[in-house]
Structure 1
Amino acid sequence: MKLFKFCLILASAGTLAVAPGCKDFYNVNVNPLTPTAVDLNSLLPVAQVNMAEYLGDNIGGLSQYTMALMQQLYNTRNIGNFQQTGDAFSGEWAGLYRGVLINNERIITQGTTEQRWNYVGIAQLQKAYVFSQMVDVWGDIPYSEALKGEVNPAPRFDKDEDIYNGTTNIQGLFSLIDEGLANLAKPGSVPTKPTLSAVDLIYKGDLDKWARFGRTLKLKLYNQLRKTTAAATVQSQVGPLLSGALMEETGDFQLGYLNTANPDNRNPGYVTDYNANPENRIGRYFYEGMLTLNDPRKPYYFFNQLAAGTTTTNQDYISALDPSFVTVRPGTSSQYASVATTASVQTVQGLYPVGGRYDDGKGGKTGTTSGKAEAPQRLLTYYSRKYTEAELRLTVYNDVVAARTAFDAAVQASFNKVNAIATADGSPVIPAASITTYKTSALARFDNAPSAEDKLEVIMYEKYVASFGYGVDVYTDFRRTGHPTIRVSREAVSLSAPNSGLLVDDGATRANGPFPLRLYYPTNDLTLNPNSPRSQRDVTAPIFWDK
């Protein structure tokens, strides 16, 4: 993490990271001032920092948008009531291509020339991960031609299915992962100074953890495709992975942060919400759902600026179940929805997602109260791996007993992750007895669910809660499974496909469209790139794995 300062210096110089004001992919590769040869030790940490930022839970990351779609958060950008524009995601699009993927490609090209196969393998796995996330939210995107050379103003948009599975002319993501794993296993990589362990901000040069991540990523992607493939084929794909060396509990794919403001190495989501005007409110049904189930993770997830036992007035929504919880509902018709009205009393993200305050019930204002801002940006985790296994055992293997075992391990791992973050923060941990009580209740909900689909609802709800802080996968999971059910306006339900997992909310909100099954492309990409689709896809058109 000491490399953060160096990374930020490079970024501010405009050498490797996204240039301010960059709004579209069309201009991404057109930068003759960018050097074509930079030491791999400089490229890797910059790519990793940018990957966490542009995918993560912060004002410039895709997770805040997708968490709003999934009603976990609500902010002033209207995505929570399903309003998109052609500029809504241009910064994230450009940041992922320019700040992550181009730097990543330089590592692959230069590392191959220098025979530094450890760097090449890491970059290939990162490339597969980032492209998979982009396909999952946008569908067809520039892929096979996107990173060829420094000047490529008109890359072809490849089909989403071809990017995953590959064609004669396109290396698919599964093949790319396999190639990355093979490169990690190659002996005799050229030694580097500083060593890989000093510049790899994720696994500190531990190639076994990188390999476990790569295999876990394959498992995740095969699971996402399970509805497009016969069950026997899926079993042949995931069986060797489930019995092999996958991600362990100490091997989460995540980026850590530090409590330093100059240079600013804090969790960027914390910076967004712990000021005088917090960016994000908390979804009403998300908070109250955890409250109803007596979920002991609640004080780690959310921080109430109002002390326990107190309340306020003239707000859009004050919970009858917990009057210290104040929020704004997406698309509300209330007069009390402005930032000025809610800033000093609204509930905000807490310790677990962004390194904010553990809620001890005493309250405090976000402009003056503070946390350590060190919570990591989680991307792919051990608990997610176990929830994926539970889903596969239930839906592909039709093995309820094995699914229950994996679900049990997933819930336990979810709590362990909260306690690990609490321990690092110096906050109280969740007592073992409280974890056992909640887990027993979750397993009872699973056991009592009458059908496989009802059991899947229980699994996906717990995954939804555990994944708070990384919205991209929550959004993907919901679209492909219809679980867990979420509450949105009556308009959104009527405009969306039947049986889509949407339930009607309290009736006091409005939507600007149907629940979107994909995000908009940046407008400039469509108008300037002759090889683009030229117009936005209908937001109700599903990604290929959404059957």
Structure 2
Amino acid sequence: MKFHQIGATLALAAVLATASGCKDFYATNVNPLYPTSTTLNNLLPITQVSMASGLGDNVGGLSQYTMGIMQQLYSTRGIGNFLQTGDSFGSPWAEFYNTMLPNNEIIINQGTTEAQWGYVGIAQLQKAYVYSQMVDMWGDIPYSEALQGVANLAPRFDKDSEIYNGTTDGKVKGLFTLIDEGLANIAKAPSSTTLGRADLIYGGSLDKWARFGRTLKLKLYNQIRKTNSPSAVAAQVTPLLAAQLIEEGGDLQLAYKNSLSPDTRNPGAVVDYGPSPENRIGRYFYEDMKAKSDPRMRYYFFNQVPEGVAVTQQDYINENFVTVRPGSTGLYTSSASTANVQTLQGLYPIGGRYDDGKGNPSANSRPQAKYEAPQRLLTYYSRKFTEAELQLMVLNNVPAARAALVAGLNAAFNKVNTIAAADGSPLMTTTQINNYLNRNNTNLNASGPLNRFDRATTNEDRLEVIMYEKYVASFGFGPDVYTDFRRTGHPRIRVSQDIVTASPTRSGLLPDDGTTLSTGMFPNRLYYPTNDLILNPNSPRTQAPQNSRIFWDL
């Protein structure tokens, strides 16, 4: 956080004055510099828009950074070459500590005073979710002493494991305890609440929030499973596997709409379909999907070059797919030289265009899009892939793992079709989906996921199938993909050969064909913003080494 941070009320004023994405999302008649009152129904949407912005697939969100690390995207920002500095992640860090978390804390404190237990429970679950993501990215962070305004301008950085699990002396309340408190407050809230439209995610449905809370708890137990014995993990997750979790259609996500006043468009599409697209598509991510004849490609990637039209003088060309290889320094790497031909993020991740093969009808401007795809955060398909991992690696139940994998795959395809239907784009057919799921090829890599799973001879090989499919389904939300890779070594990704050499203890890294360049090593964690290390005397003062690991990364 910025440690010259002002008190909570003025933090709200700063949000209303400066956070255009939040301000545009809902009309407010409050004077941003001198608010006369603070109401919970004004605060809740601020926290939700800010949460999606800080984590999401946009220029300042963690998703674009982490999708770059995981080779799904590439941009000319340094992290695309595995080069990070103390300025790399200031935007999402500030989004959380200056906007989302302070306003969320007001909801908890004021809601408790007003006995508005629905608001309190939701805010506690949001707090647990955002802090878990921050620990997964940075490790030790301000937590137990944070969000106190002028009462504590220099909060300590709590240990990552203690933020998750808490301490026996009670000085650090762990995330699992916070989730339990949130669920308890939701349970005691009246069935009819005043949440309504203030809740941009679930429309005031406390049942859906409770399902999210239990799913989040399952997710976090799974993420730290290697820190406990299999029997302990089994005892933790077995009751949750039988509980009411996120259902299909009950994803934690923020919806966007194509409106300019107020501006409610998907911010990732606004930039990538603007004059200077920010992101290119990862070459190997595309090639793997193509090798498997994945029918989701037309929803994931929009090729500006029409099918059958030759394109030359670009850094990487694969038929009408055009991108830039990480680290390339040639003539065709700048935004100006690629803007009109490069493949863009498509309909599914950011509300861009469905690829009908006709390309961009206007060669001198960006194609038009609706900008309406939601920012996905925690989904039903992710829940099922998590269940598949737990059944396989903790409960050693291969048939149950396969069944959960099938459910996750079907849910992932349904999610794409749901977004396509809302856009008015063609849907994938049952035949197309089944052909992908069950394809049998002598080349194992070109076979469908169920065939690859059934042909696997070890649980690690089966886990590779689960995690690859989760990786592909999660395109558009990078933090969990990055976390999954570090804690499991799956799915295997191709990176430049010097990255493999510089990261000898990092499993899952495969050398590419030698045509890309990178700097440094694979980062096991993200750098703190330099200003926060300088201004806070209780900070670590120096960056943790890039090869040091988050506590669950064993």
1:138 and 1:520 in contact (8 A); partners too: yes
Candidates 179, 183, 186, aligned match of 1:184 = 186
Q: What residue number does 2:353 align with?
A: 357
In 2: Cα distance, 1:338 partner to 1:395 partner: 44
Gaps of 5+ in 1: 1-9, 21-31
In 1: Cα distance, 2:244 partner to 2:39 partner: 32
1:311-326 equivalent positions in 2, closer than 5 A: 311-319=310-318, 323-326=319-322
Q: What residue number does 1:394 align with?
A: 392
Q: What residue number does 1:410 align with?
A: 408
In 1: Cα distance, 2:535 partner to 2:416 partner: 45
Answer with 231-240 or 492-501: which moved more: 492-501
1:62 and 1:472 in contact (8 A); partners too: yes
Gaps of 5+ in 2: 1-9, 21-31, 439-447
Mark the CA change 1:170 to 1:17 in structure 2 (over 3 Å): closer, same or farther.
Answer: farther
In 2: Cα distance, 1:11 partner to 1:398 partner: 49
Q: What residue number does 2:430 align with?
A: 432
Mark the CA change 1:125 to 1:187 in structure 2 (over 3 Å): closer, same or farther.
Answer: closer
1:277 and 1:344 in contact (8 A); partners too: no
Deviations 1:515-542 (A, max 9, x none): 0000000001111100000000001101
Candidates 371, 380, 383, aligned match of 2:378 = 380
Give % identity: 65
Alignment partner of 1:326: what SS? strand
In 1: Cα distance, 2:240 partner to 2:39 partner: 34
Q: What is the one-letter code of the residue matched to 1:300?
A: Y
1:84-95 equivalent positions in 2, closer than 5 A: 84-95=84-95
1:378 and 1:469 in contact (8 A); partners too: yes
Q: What residue number does 1:423 align with?
A: 421
Tell me, yes or no, if structure 1 residue 525 matches structure 2 residue 511: no
Mark the CA change 1:150 to 1:249 in structure 2 (over 3 Å): closer, same or farther.
Answer: farther
TM-score for the superposition, normalised by structure 2 = 0.91
Shift in Å at residue 332 of structure 1? 1.9
Alignment partner of 1:254: what SS? strand
1:155-194 equivalent positions in 2, closer than 5 A: 155-167=155-167, 168=169, 169-188=171-190
Alignment partner of 1:315: what SS? coil
In 2: Cα distance, 1:34 partner to 1:388 partner: 46
Deviations 1:311-351 (A, max 9, x none): 311111112xxx10000011124332111111110000000
Candidates 455, 469, 475, aligned match of 2:476 = 469
Answer with 500-509 or 197-206: which moved more: 500-509
Alignment partner of 1:306: what SS? coil
Q: What is the one-letter code of the residue matched to 1:228?
A: T
Alignment partner of 2:304: what SS? coil
Shift in Å at residue 17 of structure 1? 7.2
Q: What is the one-letter code of the residue matched to 2:295?
A: P
Shift in Å at residue 277 of structure 1? 1.6
Q: What residue number does 2:29 align with?
A: none
Alignment partner of 2:330: what SS? coil
Q: What residue number does 2:444 align with?
A: none
Mark the CA change 1:187 to 1:86 in structure 2 (over 3 Å): closer, same or farther.
Answer: closer
In 1: Cα distance, 2:542 partner to 2:412 partner: 41
Deviations 1:72-114 (A, max 9, x none): 0011212121011111111110111121100000000000000
Answer with 36-45 or 381-390: which moved more: 36-45
Q: What residue number does 1:248 align with?
A: 247
Q: Provide the alpha-carbon RMSD of the alignment.
A: 1.9
1:102 and 1:147 in contact (8 A); partners too: yes
1:107-506 equivalent positions in 2, closer than 5 A: 107-167=107-167, 168=169, 169-188=171-190, 195-319=194-318, 323-364=319-360, 367-440=365-438, 441-498=448-505, 500-506=507-513
Alignment partner of 2:188: what SS? coil
TM-score for the superposition, normalised by structure 1 = 0.92
Q: What is the one-letter code of the residue matched to 1:396?
A: V
Shift in Å at residue 232 of structure 1? 0.3
Q: What is the one-letter code of the residue matched to 1:541?
A: S
Q: What residue number does 1:29 align with?
A: none
1:18 and 1:95 in contact (8 A); partners too: no
Alignment partner of 2:465: what SS? helix
Shift in Å at residue 368 of structure 1? 4.0
Candidates 533, 542, 545, aligned match of 1:535 = 542
1:74 and 1:80 in contact (8 A); partners too: yes
2:144 and 2:173 in contact (8 A); partners too: yes
In 1: Cα distance, 2:486 partner to 2:11 partner: 35
In 1: Cα distance, 2:543 partner to 2:19 partner: 25
Shift in Å at residue 442 of structure 1? 1.4
Shift in Å at residue 154 of structure 1? 0.4
Mark the CA change 1:178 to 1:115 in structure 2 (over 3 Å): closer, same or farther.
Answer: same
1:257 and 1:375 in contact (8 A); partners too: yes
In 1: Cα distance, 2:61 partner to 2:459 partner: 34
Alignment partner of 1:487: what SS? strand
Q: What is the one-letter code of the residue matched to 2:179?
A: I
In 2: Cα distance, 1:526 partner to 1:18 partner: 24
Q: What is the one-letter code of the residue matched to 2:162?
A: D
Q: What is the one-letter code of the residue matched to 1:109?
A: N
Q: What is the one-letter code of the residue matched to 1:48?
A: Q
Mark the CA change 1:432 to 1:188 in structure 2 (over 3 Å): closer, same or farther.
Answer: closer
In 1: Cα distance, 2:378 partner to 2:346 partner: 20
In 1: Cα distance, 2:134 partner to 2:37 partner: 27
In 1: Cα distance, 2:411 partner to 2:300 partner: 16
1:314 and 1:336 in contact (8 A); partners too: yes
In 1: Cα distance, 2:190 partner to 2:248 partner: 29
Equivalent pairs counted in the alignment come to 521
Q: What is the one-letter code of the residue matched to 1:341?
A: S
Shift in Å at residue 19 of structure 1? 6.1
Q: What is the one-letter code of the residue matched to 1:235?
A: A
1:17 and 1:50 in contact (8 A); partners too: no
Q: What is the one-letter code of the residue matched to 1:237?
A: Q
In 2: Cα distance, 1:534 partner to 1:404 partner: 47
Shift in Å at residue 262 of structure 1? 2.5
Alignment partner of 1:503: what SS? strand
In 1: Cα distance, 2:329 partner to 2:424 partner: 41
In 2: Cα distance, 1:152 partner to 1:311 partner: 61
Deviations 1:350-391 (A, max 9, x none): 000000000000000583421111100000000000000000
Q: What is the one-letter code of the residue matched to 1:538?
A: P
Shift in Å at residue 448 of structure 1? 0.6
Mark the CA change 1:437 to 1:182 in structure 2 (over 3 Å): closer, same or farther.
Answer: same
In 2: Cα distance, 1:14 partner to 1:479 partner: 36
1:333 and 1:509 in contact (8 A); partners too: no
2:13 and 2:33 in contact (8 A); partners too: no
Deviations 1:274-321 (A, max 9, x none): 0122110000000111111010000000000000111311111112xx
Q: What is the one-letter code of the residue matched to 1:214?
A: G
Q: What residue number does 1:6 align with?
A: none
In 2: Cα distance, 1:368 partner to 1:509 partner: 27
Shift in Å at residue 468 of structure 1? 0.1
Deviations 1:108-151 (A, max 9, x none): 00000000000000000000000000000000000000112455
Deviations 1:385-438 (A, max 9, x none): 000000001100111111000001100000000000001111111001111111
Answer with 366-375 or 509-518: which moved more: 366-375
1:354 and 1:377 in contact (8 A); partners too: yes
In 2: Cα distance, 1:136 partner to 1:155 partner: 19
